[in-house]
Amino acid sequence: QITLKESGPTLVKPTQTLTLTCTFSGFSLDTSGVSVAWIRQPPGKALDWLSLIYWNDEKRYSTSLKSRLTITKDTSKNQVVLTMTNMEPVDTGTYYCAYSPSEWGGSSGWYVRWGQGILVTVSS
Amino acid sequence: DIVVTQSPESLAVSLGETATINCKSSQSVWYSNNNKNYLAWYQQKAGQPPSLLIYWASTRESGVPDRFSGSGSGTDFTLTISSLQAEDVAVYYCQQYFDSRQFSFGQGTKLEIK
């Protein structure tokens, strides 16, 4: 059974750096084709794709947020970490991590499992 | 970047009737080498994370009722929910995964019961 869980601060101040951790089980980020992504959702608004990391440590970032994001993985701990610098009130929302399986030995791109999300509020 | 646009923003459909949600991408998400459309659909119920319904534009995820079907190719896609049930009230999103540099979601369509 694949599970993911997000953890980190629920309240950050403007200009601070947010560090979120996704701890997962039921799969290995060493497996060819697998990836984990971060997706956020402002209150009452749409899903916003942020970043992903592949099994081979390749990384992708939202072009609009690339300068503020860093994604890393610790395979031994089954964790993926996202940092976002210079947080602003508009960054308030629920942050999800999600798992994308391999397909035909390569990457699929769709998300079959999601964590429950963590609500992050940016306020002074 | 590929922009994905959904329509309508919201719709209300009677129980037992058919709901149709559209998704349009700013460029084709069809890959000729494998004849696949790189588009997925998700359902998000209130207070829950999204749940995968369909991938490759028309392949239902395991366990998804066959009332849910996806169609389309290139830039224009449709999610059809037939025999609408009360439990189908949710927000529905499409997602393109064609552009491997950056994936993207539509803005969502809210489905309610009339």
Q: What is the pLDDT along chain A (124 residues), one digit of tens a residue?
A: 999 999 999 999 999 999 999 999 999 999 999 999 999 999 999 999 999 999 999 999 999 999 999 999 999 999 999 999 999 999 999 999 999 999 887 889 999 999 999 999 999 9
Q: Let me know if B8 is exposed, middle or buried by CB neighbors in 10 A (0-12, 13-18, 19+).
A: exposed
Find, among A26, A50, A39, A45, the residue nearest to A101 by Cα: A26
Q: Is B61 on the interface with A (CB under 8 A)?
A: yes
Give phi and psi for A90, each to the nearest 5.
-70, -15
Per-residue pLDDT of chain B (114 residues; tens, 9 = 90+): 999 999 999 999 999 999 999 999 999 999 999 999 999 999 999 999 999 999 999 999 999 999 999 999 999 999 999 999 999 999 999 999 999 899 999 999 999 999
Q: Which residues of B76-103 are buried (b: 16+ CB within 10 A; e: fewer)?
A: ebbbebeebeeebbbbbbbbbbbbeebb
Rounded percentage of chain B residues whose pLDDT exceeds 70: 100
Rounded percentage of chain B residues whose pLDDT exceeds 90: 99
CA distance A74 to chain B (A): 22
Give A-chain residues touching B97 at CB under 8 angstroms.
108-110
Give B-chain residues touching A39 at CB under 8 angstroms.
105
How far apart CA B2 and CA A76 sit, in angstroms, is 35
CA distance A104 to chain B (A): 11
